Structure formats: structure tokens, C-alpha cells
Amino acid sequence: MNSADFTLLFDLDGTLVDTDILHFGAYQTLLAGYQRSITMQTYKQRIMGAPNDAIMLELFPELPQDARRRLSEHKEELFRAAIVELEPMPGVLELFEWAETRHVPIAVVTNAPRANAELMLKGLGLAKRINTLVIGEELPRGKPDPLPYLTGLQRLGGRAERALAFEDSLSGVRAASAAGIHTFGIGTSLPEAALLGAGAQEAINDFTAAALWRRLNALELGTVTEASRA
């Protein structure tokens, strides 16, 4: 397989590793200082996967931008401090091995700050196994805009029709599907209906799913048709 022929693009939080409980806890700690809290449902529907500036604007609309930025940085410090040991989602290591043996390039596309992303990738043992790391907040627009995924494709020299994306959040699914990439919704936190409703072509529990490996084999053999990509 030509290394520029086929590409894989992964979200990080909730996709390669389940970190939702750590993020949720960090937000609750931050909000407690303002006598506020959020429910897990609110976190999953409105916060998970969104850009930090948008999250802080929603949580603290009365504060000036500089204050919201400081709170955002503090929340991420709380998150990083909570990381003890990270376990990759089932099937992640096998999929990375599959990609490496076929010289398939890999991008991680995330709205997480670079410090978070680099810490998590190192903890998962994946830092040296990806070809590029796309940080949404370092671009003019993060997810749910398709720009992060379009940037990932560009850096890998890939094409949307010969790529797969993996996402667990509504904003992430919208970003990847809007980039024209066949998107697998990962059911870490959201039900299948929500992932499909956001634009995912398929929904799977993790990377051991038979549907995923059928698609990979079809792409490798060149048997994926325009109809089957729709």
C-alpha cells in the first residue's frame, strides 16, 4: 500500500483513550469555586470535544476573555494533574500495528491543548507512532469546523475519499464528516443514534469492531466504491 494512498485520522480524548471522567472532574473542581456545577449529560452534549474558548464562554459568560483564558488554563492543569496511568481503547494498538506494517500515515486531530495531547500520547506510548499532531486551537478554527481534519489530510498528503476518521464527540464527528471523510463514531460516551445523527457513517464501540476491519480490508484491496463510501 502506498503511504500517500490511504490515511487514518484519530481524535484523542474519548477516542484513543477514555478520559471523560478526568475532564468532568476537572470541570467540577473548577466550577465549585464559583458555586456552580454541571451534569454529565451537559458535559457530553455541550462541552465534550468543543474548543476551550467556546466552553469557557458558555460556563462563564459574565467574565472577561482574559479571566476565561486563565480559568481554561487552570482546568487543563487540573486535568493533567489527575492523569496517573492511561489505557488505550481496545483495539488501538492492533490498529496502529496494522497501519505501520502497511506504511499508512496517521494523524491525531484534537481540540485539546498541545500540552495535554503530548502528555497523553506519551503516556499511551503513541507519541512516536503518529505522523502529525493537529491542534485545533492552533488553527484559525477548531472542531466542529472541518479545518482541523482538512489540515490533517493536507499534512499527510491524503485524500478524504481514501481516509477514515474516528471520533467520539458531536463536534468531532461534525468536523470529520464535514471534511468529507468516512467517519466512525466511537461509542465511549454517546449512543449510536447521537453519533449517526451528527454525521458519522458508522458507529462502533471500539477498535475491535468487525465493521471497522471489514472497511479497512476493503480499502486495502481497493474494493470500496463511491456508493459504499456514502
Q: Over 70: is that where the pLDDT of 24 sits?
A: yes
- Structural Rg of the chain based on CA atoms: 17
Q: What is the pLDDT of residue 222?
A: 72
For residues 64 and 60, give the distance between their C-alpha atoms in angstroms, rounded to a whole number: 9
Percentage of residues in the chain with pLDDT exceeding 70?
A: 95
The pLDDT value recorded for residue 230 is: 44
Of the listed ranges 26-35, 107-116, 174-183, 213-222, the least confidently predicted one is 213-222
Distance CA 53, CA 65 (A): 9
Name the pLDDT band for 224 (thresholds 50, 70, 90). Answer: low
Tell me how far apart the 2 most distant CA atoms of the chain are, in Å: 57
Please state the rounded mean pLDDT for residues 69-75.
Answer: 96
Instruction: Provide mean pLDDT across the span 156-172.
Output: 95
| C-alpha closest to that of 13 among 122, 164, 117 | 117
Phi and psi, residue 3, nearest 5°: -65, -20
Reported as a single tens digit per residue, the pLDDT across 80-139 is 999 989 999 999 999 999 999 999 999 999 999 999 999 999 999 999 999 999 999 999
What is the predicted pLDDT for the residue at 228?
47
Q: Is there a catalytic annotation at residue 13? A: yes
Give yes or no for residue 229 having a pLDDT over 90: no
Average pLDDT, the chain: 93
Q: What is the mean pLDDT of residues 191-211?
A: 97
Residue among 11, 18, 20, 145 flagged as catalytic: 11
Among residues 5, 13, 18, 206, which one is catalytic? 13
Question: Could you give the C-alpha distances from 96 to 7, 15, 174, 185, in angstroms and in order?
Answer: 12, 13, 24, 18
Question: What is the full DSSP assignment across 126-180?
Answer: -GGG-SEEEEGGGSSS-TTSSHHHHHHHHHHT--GGGEEEEE-SHHHHHHHHHTT
Residue 1 has pLDDT above 80, yes or no: no
- Residue holding cell 463510501? 229
pLDDT at 26: 96
Peptide bond into 144 cis (omega under 30): yes
Tell me whether residue 5 is one of the annotated catalytic residues: no
| CATH superfamily membership of 7-17+88-221 | HAD superfamily/HAD-like (3.40.50.1000)
Domain ranges of the chain: 7-17+88-221, 19-82
Q: What is the pLDDT confidence band of residue 221, given thresholds at 50, 70 and 90? A: confident
Question: What's the pLDDT score for residue 208?
Answer: 98
- The residues, ordered by sequence, that sit 6+ positions from 159 with a Cβ below 8 Å of its Cβ are 7, 153
